[in-house]
């Protein structure tokens, strides 16, 4: 959302990002309410104060991750009455329903706190006031298309200028990196098992598991990697894959079989799931000539499909439809 807001400002559109809490990744928003420093019983008062201010300053409210100003979403009625335009941007766990996902993906896991009841209640409340929803791929569209009048698939924006490529050189001992936000959701146990088995077979490589670091630290380490493993359970490409490709890295990630053709033809992800990660990783490690080739393709893919110049007008077009 921060990169999107910056891209809108470059188009001459006044845009601000508001976070309620500080975050461990050190993402820098334009406004932060720092609610973690306020007693719980006073937090809603602080949110209402900012909402009162925002209603006078902004015309469009672009909500992310299924959240609005208040947990019960009572602010939507007020925003509607005030004539404000709204759009909801779903990103993953806020809509991914296990029963639906399992119909085509035996490996999938979801965050336990996002129960299907909670997701359906959230979608019902949002879609009662919001006509347009945005998702980043066809996998997420599956869960929301029956709720909103209009569901748009737009790739997320990445600032490729901040992520300069560092293509992997040919070497005898590559660095393989895996950076999960949630181990169970990303299939980290299968990555660790594959690494252990390949080490026992005598395959030469270094491995680094990145956890608990802020975003800049993660990007710095990602830039040093030769091979990046994203997720093996979800079945779709995410932000880490995008950032790694922008940095010129070959990326291993699970893309659901029925969704492969939904991606552009130049999509260079190396596909692997829990049952194939060992063989796929071994083959890639043993073919160092492919590393830079895939890295160059990944960087080109990002510049064709994920930079502001390619997608920002799609967002603006949606705002005009609200």
**204-215 pLDDT, tens digit each:** 999 999 998 888
Shared domain for 249 and 146, answered yes or no, is no
Question: Sign of the C-alpha dihedral, residues 262, 267, 269, 275?
Answer: positive
Q: How far is CA 150 from the centre of its chain?
A: 21
> Is residue 36 one of the residues assigned to a domain?
yes
> Is residue 169 one of the residues assigned to a domain?
no
Query: Which pLDDT does position 214 carry in this prediction?
Result: 85
C-alpha gyration radius of the chain:
21
Query: Which pLDDT does position 213 carry in this prediction?
Result: 86
Q: CA–CA separation, 157 vs 309, rounded Å?
A: 9
CATH number for the domain spanning 279: value is: 3.40.50.2000
pLDDT at 277 over 70: yes
Percentage of the chain exceeding pLDDT 90: 91
Whether the Cβ atoms of residue 109 and residue 97 lie closer than 8 Å to each other? no
Average pLDDT of the residues in 171-186? 94
Q: What is the dihedral of CA 223, 227, 233, 239, to 10 degrees?
A: 20
Instruction: For residue 263, give its domain range.
Output: 175-305
Average pLDDT of the residues in 3-15? 93
> Is residue 244 one of the residues assigned to a domain?
yes
Q: Would you place residue 222 in the very low, low, confident or very high pLDDT band (cuts 50, 70, 90)?
A: very high
Shared domain for 209 and 314, answered yes or no, is no
Shared domain for 300 and 313, answered yes or no, is no
Shared domain for 30 and 151, answered yes or no, is yes
Query: Which pLDDT does position 25 carry in this prediction?
Result: 67
Shared domain for 315 and 289, answered yes or no, is no
- Tell me the angle at which helices 239-246 and 289-305 cross, rounded to the nearest 10 degrees: 110
Shared domain for 75 and 61, answered yes or no, is yes
Tokens 């959240």 sit on residue: 67
> Is residue 163 one of the residues assigned to a domain?
no
Q: Which of 256, 257, 244, 243 is nearest to 291 (CA)?
A: 244
Q: CA–CA separation, 98 vs 106, rounded Å?
A: 10
Tens of pLDDT, residue by residue over 84-98, are 999 999 999 999 999
> Is residue 279 one of the residues assigned to a domain?
yes
> Into how many domains does the chain fold?
2
Q: Would you place residue 145 in the very low, low, confident or very high pLDDT band (cuts 50, 70, 90)?
A: very high
pTM above 0.85, yes or no: yes
Q: How high does pLDDT run on average in the chain? A: 95
Shared domain for 204 and 219, answered yes or no, is yes
Shared domain for 53 and 96, answered yes or no, is yes
Question: What residues contact residue 204 under an 8 Å CB cut-off, 6+ apart?
Answer: 172, 173, 285
> Is residue 295 one of the residues assigned to a domain?
yes
Whether the Cβ atoms of residue 51 and residue 75 lie closer than 8 Å to each other? yes
Query: Which pLDDT does position 22 carry in this prediction?
Result: 87
pLDDT at 238 over 90: no
Average pLDDT of the residues in 315-321? 96
Shared domain for 134 and 122, answered yes or no, is yes
Q: How far is CA 197 from the centre of its chain?
A: 30
Shared domain for 13 and 124, answered yes or no, is yes
Shared domain for 136 and 38, answered yes or no, is yes
Shared domain for 127 and 204, answered yes or no, is no
Tokens 């393989």 sit on residue: 176
């Amino acid at each position: 959302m921060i990169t999107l807001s910056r891209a809108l400002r470059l188009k001459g559109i006044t845009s601000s990002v508001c976070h309620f809490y500080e975050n461990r990744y050190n993402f820098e928003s334009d406004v932060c309410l720092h609610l973690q420093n306020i007693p719980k019983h006073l937090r809603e008062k602080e949110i209402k104060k900012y909402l009162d201010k925002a209603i006078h300053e902004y015309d469009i409210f672009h909500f992310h991750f299924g959240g609005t100003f208040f947990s019960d979403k009572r602010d939507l009625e007020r925003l509607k009455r005030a004539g404000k335009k709204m759009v909801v941007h779903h990103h993953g766990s806020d809509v991914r329903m296990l029963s639906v996902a399992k119909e085509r993906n035996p490996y999938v896991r979801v965050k336990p706190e996002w129960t299907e009841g909670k997701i359906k209640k959230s979608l019902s409340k949002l879609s009662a006031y919001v006509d347009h929803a945005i998702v980043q791929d066809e996998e997420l569209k599956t869960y929301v298309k029956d709720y909103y009048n209009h569901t748009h698939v737009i790739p997320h924006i990445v600032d490729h200028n901040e992520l300069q490529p560092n293509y992997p050189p040919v070497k005898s001992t590559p660095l393989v990196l895996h950076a999960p936000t949630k181990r169970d959701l990303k299939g980290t146990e299968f990555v660790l098992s594959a690494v252990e088995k390949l080490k026992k077979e005598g395959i030469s490589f270094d491995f680094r598991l990145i956890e608990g670091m802020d975003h800049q630290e993660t990007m710095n380490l990602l830039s040093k990697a030769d091979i990046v493993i994203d997720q093996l359970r979800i079945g779709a490409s995410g932000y880490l894959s995008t950032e790694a490709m922008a940095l010129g890295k070959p990326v291993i990630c699970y893309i659901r079989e029925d969704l492969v053709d939904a991606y552009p033809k130049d999509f260079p992800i190396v596909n692997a799931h829990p049952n194939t990660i060992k063989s796929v990783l071994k083959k890639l490690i043993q073919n160092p000539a492919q590393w830079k080739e895939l890295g160059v393709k990944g960087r080109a893919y990002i510049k064709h499909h994920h930079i502001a110049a390619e997608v920002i007008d799609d967002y603006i077009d949606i705002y005009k439809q609200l």
